[in-house]
Structure 1
Amino acid sequence: MSTIELVGFSSSILIGISLGLIGGGGSILTLPVLVYLMGINPIMSTAYSLFVVGATSLVGSVNYMRHQQVNYKAALVFSVPSFLAVYLTRKFLVPAIPDPIFTTAAFTLSKDVAIMLFFALVMLAASISMIRDKNKAQKAEGPVQFNLPLIALEGALVGTLTGIVGAGGGFLIIPALVLLARLPMKMAVGTSLLIIAVKSLIGFLGDLSNIPVDWPFLLEFTGLSIIGIFVGSYLSRFVPGQKLKKAFGYFVLVMGVLILVKETLL
């Protein structure tokens, strides 16, 4: 095993720690680790990311279920359109994207590069969501209620995003659950982990007929990530979640900028 691969497997633990600490962010790390450290092409990496994040989030959600911090009605309303969107995106939309997307005499935009650029933009959006002040969102908490059309619409949008870039979308799901369903923050995190888990694993199922899967590698990588989520859940007892989320947001911002620079200028 090369040094870079060793760093890549070690980073899988950080993916789980991120999910355990702040209930999201794992998918933001997974795709760059798989592409740049493990040398897997972006199309395959988005599929692997769905499995890694889905399995890890599922394990993490169990602890929230035990403490009755999952709102199953909100999960259902959000999930049905999201599940359908992610499955259809992975099954039909991603394979239908042409490669190259377009080409001229001076420039060619390949499918792999386009996915990484789009993912970098998602990272920038995620960083802004994590850095900005969440007080307004937290103040919106009140009696649980449901804006059904908006929750369903955001579910479909997040599902499509998940299908394209392999991102779980926790940075979009949690604000939606807090603002549109008025869930308490901890319950929103637990519900988000369950949604991410099932949505991501359903999206991965849409890939099984399109790509060959290296199961020994994928299971080893995922197993380390699951160890990480136990570590993250333990550390969350001692680390203020809001401060950590903001610090992680700045890290994601830097990573997004670096990916944009690498894919466009280097």
Structure 2
Amino acid sequence: MILFKVSVHTAIGTSLFVDVIASLTVSYSYYKNGNIELKSGIWIASTSIIGAQLGALFASKMGEGNLSSSFGVVLVIAGLSMFRKSYKEKSDSSDTISGFIHFKTERQKILAALIIGLGIGILSGIFGAGGGVLILLALIILMSFPLHKAIGTSTLIMAITALSSTVGYAARGKIDFELGSFLAVGAVLGAILGSSYANKVNEKTLLKIVGICFMAMGVVIL
């Protein structure tokens, strides 16, 4: 959106609109390959919708300079976290948070998913990333998901969360639908190509690549 010189709020709203279309395309591809955890995804998505509306409301009251800087910081931190994760030994447990909090019951896992979803929704509504970065990090770092399943599940949640946020921005007239439609065409083509080749990339290498990209984007925005 930097290239098209639109306002920060319109850029966020338009990016959310594009996220919905691209995320649905990617999530379908991962679903066909069995790389979506529907159970956890649905619980996270249920509260992320509420959080997304709150985030969109907060963002409308924030100055554009503060919004841009904050999003840049989030991207840098996300990139560092993923890069650091690539050097850690792979965890075999799917019932932990950051490897040290163990869920004893299914109810605890559901509660954690609901809380994570609410936080992700608020932040995605504020920063307009559709929750993609935040959801992926939460599933990998907090929920100990394998990378491919994390990507598949996060794109499904992202589609649902982004749709909720998009409605909020559209109601405030902060979406350029013409620009978003053109961008969506390219995003869908890229999503199809990316998801086709993702399984061929080593997990640790992919984490490093994504981490570097996030850090670079964050620095540019800052």
TM score, norm. by length of structure 1? 0.71
In structure 2, the gaps of 5 or more residues are 97-105
**Aligned-CA RMSD value:** 2.3
Determine the structure 1 residue equivalent to 2:8.
42
Q: Which runs of 5+ in 1 are unaligned?
A: 1-33, 98-110, 261-266
2:109 pairs, out of 147, 154, 157, with 147
1:59 aligns with 2:25: yes
Cα displacement string for residues 90-147 of structure 1 (whole angstroms, at most 9, x for unaligned residues):
2x322233xxxxxxxxxxxxx1111110011111111112211346573143579662
Deviates most, 228-237 or 174-183: 174-183
Higher Rg of the two aligned structures = 1
Aligned counterpart, 2:61: 96
- Give the Cα–Cα distance (whole angstroms) in 2 for the partners of residues 162 and 143 of structure 1: 25
- TM-score, with length taken from structure 2: 0.84
Report the alpha carbon displacement of residue 87 of structure 1 after superposing the two structures with TM. 1.8
Q: 1:124 — aligned with what?
A: 76
**Where does residue 73 of structure 1 map in the other structure?**
39
Equivalence map 1:1-266=2 (5 Å): 34=1, 36-90=2-56, 92-97=57-62, 111-134=63-86, 136=88, 138-142=90-94, 147-178=109-140, 181=143, 183-211=145-173, 213-260=175-222
The CA deviation string for residues 194-246 of structure 1, in whole angstroms up to 9 with x for no partner, is 00111011110111120154322211111111000111123324433431331
Structure 1 121/205 Cα, relative in aligned 2: closer, same or farther at 3 Å? same
1:57/1:251 CA distance change after superposition, 3 Å: same
Between the two proteins, the alignment pairs up a number of residues equal to 212
State the percentage of identical aligned residues: 27
Distance of 2:213 and 2:206 partners within structure 1: 11
Distance 2:170 2:85 in 1: 40
Distance 1:184 1:237 in 2: 12
